[in-house]
Amino acid sequence: MAGNIKIEVVTPEKSVVSEEAQIVMAPGTMGEFGVLVGHTPFFTTLKMGVIKYKDAKGEERCVFVTEGFAEALPDRVTILAEAAERRRDIDVERAKAALKRAEERLAKESGKQDMDFMRAKIALDRALHRIQLAETRRH
Ligand code: ATP
């Protein structure tokens, strides 16, 4: 079916993306999925990763998202996540500082499998994803 789909990426703080897209790809917990206009409605959880979409002009756009949810309807896809940033908005120095803090915490908690250890591990994953995505920015 021809036409664009509306993509919305929303966090508790803000609307990160609200625009028309030709196609949206997202990291579902059951695997990566793609949504085009006219898609059968579905709802899924998302793992931490990158939402990729082609905007109305066909430019590829990337958005980092933490774990969250996605709802696809025939004319729109809505992503709800704890945090999200467009690739161009990622502050690499901040992510590197967060990575260092997480590594230090993990070293201190080494061997434990408690909540602090898990939190530090997830913070480390966030920082690594942000750095990796930012590194694919065109200069
Ligand atoms: P930090 O310790 O630097 O806050 P964090 O992983 O704990 O990192 P989050 O809790 O995931 O941060 O996000 C808090 C807010 O800050 C969100 O609005 C998120 O989009 C933003 N944010 C976090 N890190 C970055 C970054 N490196 N660049 C841009 N925005 C960021």
What domains can be seen in the chain, in order of their start residue? 5-87 (2.60.15.10), 90-134 (1.20.5.440)
Pocket test for ligand 1, best of 67, 94, 105, 128 (most atoms within 8 A of CB): 94
Q: Which atom of ligand 1 is nearest to the CA of 97?
A: 3
Q: CA-CA distance, 13 to 31, in Å (whole number)? A: 27
The pair of structure tokens assigned to 68 is 């969250």
Pocket test for ligand 1, best of 62, 89, 91, 122 (most atoms within 8 A of CB): 91
The owner of tokens 């696809």 is 72
Q: What pLDDT is attached to residue 139?
A: 56
Contact assessment for residue 102 and residue 124, using Cβ atoms and an 8 Å cutoff: yes
Count of Cβ atoms closer than 10 Å to residue 97 Cβ = 12
- Better-scored residue on pLDDT, 72 or 138: 72
Q: What pLDDT is attached to residue 25?
A: 98
Q: Model confidence over 70-100: pLDDT tens digits? A: 999 999 999 999 999 999 999 999 999 999 9
Q: What is the mean pLDDT of residues 43-62?
A: 97
Q: What pLDDT is attached to residue 18?
A: 98
1 pLDDT above the threshold of 60: no
Q: Is residue 94 within 6 Å of ligand 1 at its C-beta?
A: yes
Closest CA to 134 of 103, 102, 96, 104: 96
